[in-house]
Amino acid sequence: MALSNWATRMAPDQAESAGGLVVIGVQSAIAGGAAAGGVMFGIGGTVTVFTISGIVLVASALLIVLRVKAPRHNVVS
């Protein structure tokens, strides 16, 4: 996982603690997503959950396409 790799590179002498923070971050994101999905389901049912999820997915894809640039490779002849 890229986040674990980054965390251990940033704190090589504290790899165990950095790994714990990564776990806390991932678990918190899962819990937050589950809570948000539960609230959406309570408000509008499955249609609302899938509609909002689709909007977030499309917005995320557009953000990636517009902001992430492919690395340039120099071709040596």
Report the pLDDT value the prediction gives residue 75, as an integer from 0 to 100: 67
Write out pLDDT tens, residues 1-54. 677 788 888 888 888 888 888 899 999 999 999 999 999 999 999 999 999 999
Phi-psi region of 52 (alpha: psi -120 to 50; beta: other; left: phi over 0): alpha
Measured distance CA(43)–CA(62) in Å, rounded: 27
